[in-house]
């Protein structure tokens, strides 16, 4: 994961009960805690319907406030409107540093954009099926599949999004490799080496849904090493990363210089 700005940031967590799964609420809230403190936790839906029954036993446990929203018209999602209105009311209190929107519904795209326009951090949580416009409208987007238990015998530590991908498959993922290379280029100096944390932050700015866990790796350093195209240096206080091609070029002149020195020594040596 990337470095987070403020662990004490006040967050409003708004959950669309119609488009979220109750079974992942505990790891989801643990993930939210990495971004700040969930000062408000609200969940929206029509609680008179049996479809939301799975949520009822977790609301009290996690102190989540249910907001009743009747479905006045068939096939019209009034829950979305209630969430959007509440989000704007909370925004104008000036109390919150950021918002966590839990839904796979693209109807929240404009809400995410509007909150960011007001200088608020927006973290989205939804399934991999979430439409890309909503994903891109957030500062960061976390796929909830990583919160599901791994299938028996799968050491990935995650669900569909968390399947551990081998080196060959990772190298063929051109988008992934280019994301990391461009971030290294943007965060590095003349040496070509960059701080891993800065690289991770740049990647998320370019791709809000980037997460090493989507590929089955807990950390960006583990993912970069698994790809096999990058070199990491852990010798200092912080981890540095560079494109292996750059490292190879840096070592090449030193080898040539050593060879010239050896040749010169041979020529200068007295003959018997």
**Which regions of the chain carry the CATH code 3.40.50.1010?**
9-148
Q: Residue 237: which residues within 8 A CB-CB, separation 6 or more?
A: none
The Cα 75–Cα 11 span in angstroms is 31
Residue range 213-235: mean pLDDT, rounded: 95
- Cα 58 to chain centroid, rounded: 25
Nearest CA among 36, 35, 68, 30 for reference residue 49: 68
Go through 180-191 and write b for each residue having 16 or more CB atoms within 10 A of its CB, e for each that does not: bbebbeebbeee
**DSSP code of residue 2:** P
Of 93-102, 113-122, 162-171, 188-197, the poorest mean pLDDT is in 162-171
pLDDT value, residue 267: 53
Do residues 97 and 121 touch, judged by C-beta distance below 8 A? yes
pLDDT value, residue 265: 45
pLDDT value, residue 251: 76
pLDDT value, residue 65: 96
pLDDT value, residue 2: 40
Average pLDDT, the chain: 86
The Cα 67–Cα 82 span in angstroms is 9
Q: Distances from the Cα of 111 to the Cαs of 80, 120, 241, in angstroms?
A: 10, 11, 36
Structure confidence at residue 249 as a pLDDT band (50, 70, 90): confident
pLDDT value, residue 163: 77
Does pLDDT of 84 surpass 90? yes
- CATH number for region 9-148: 3.40.50.1010
Q: What percent of the chain has pLDDT over 70?
A: 83
pLDDT value, residue 264: 47
Do residues 37 and 157 touch, judged by C-beta distance below 8 A? no
Indicate the helix (H) or strand (E) that contains 268: helix 244-268
The Cα 148–Cα 20 span in angstroms is 13
pTM equals 0.82
3-state percent breakdown (helix, strand, coil) of the chain, nearest 5: 50, 15, 35
Residue 244, phi then psi, degrees to nearest 5 = -60, -30
- Residue with more model confidence, 91 or 57: 91
Do residues 14 and 101 touch, judged by C-beta distance below 8 A? yes
Does pLDDT of 158 surpass 50? no
Residue range 245-256: mean pLDDT, rounded: 72
Residue range 134-158: mean pLDDT, rounded: 78
- Residue with more model confidence, 24 or 271: 24
Residue range 165-188: mean pLDDT, rounded: 95
Residue range 111-127: mean pLDDT, rounded: 97
The model's pLDDT over 22-40, given as tens digits with 9 standing for 90+, comes to 999 999 999 999 999 999 9
**Which regions of the chain carry the CATH code 3.30.420.610?**
166-267
Fold topology of 166-267: Nucleotidyltransferase; domain 5 (3.30.420)
- Residue with more model confidence, 208 or 79: 208
């Amino acid at each position: 994961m990337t470095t987070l700005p403020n662990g004490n940031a006040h967050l409003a967590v708004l959950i669309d009960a119609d488009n979220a799964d109750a079974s992942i609420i505990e790891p989801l809230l643990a993930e939210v805690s990495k971004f700040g403190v969930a000062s408000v936790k609200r969940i929206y839906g029509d609680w008179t319907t049996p479809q939301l029954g799975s949520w009822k036993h977790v609301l009290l446990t996690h102190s989540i406030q249910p907001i009743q929203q009747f479905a006045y018209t068939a096939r019209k999602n009034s829950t979305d409107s209630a969430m959007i209105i509440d989000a704007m009311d909370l925004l104008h209190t000036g109390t919150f540093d950021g918002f966590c929107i839990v839904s796979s519904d693209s109807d929240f795209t404009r809400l995410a954009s509007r909150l960011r326009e007001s200088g608020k951090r927006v973290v989205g949580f939804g399934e991999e099926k979430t439409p890309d416009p909503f994903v891109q409208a957030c500062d960061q987007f976390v796929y909830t599949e990583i919160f599901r238990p791994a299938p028996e015998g799968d050491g990935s530590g995650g669900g569909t999004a968390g399947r551990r991908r081998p080196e060959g498959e990772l190298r063929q993922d051109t988008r992934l490799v280019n994301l990391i290379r461009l971030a290294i280029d943007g965060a590095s100096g003349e040496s070509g080496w960059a701080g891993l944390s800065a690289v991770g932050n740049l990647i998320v700015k370019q791709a809000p849904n980037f997460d090493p866990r989507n590929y089955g790796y807990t950390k960006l350093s583990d993912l970069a090493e698994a790809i096999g195209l990058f070199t990491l240096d852990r010798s200092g206080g912080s981890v540095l990363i560079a494109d292996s091609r750059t490292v190879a070029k840096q070592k090449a002149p030193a080898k040539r210089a050593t060879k010239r020195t050896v040749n010169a020594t041979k020529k200068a040596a007295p003959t018997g």
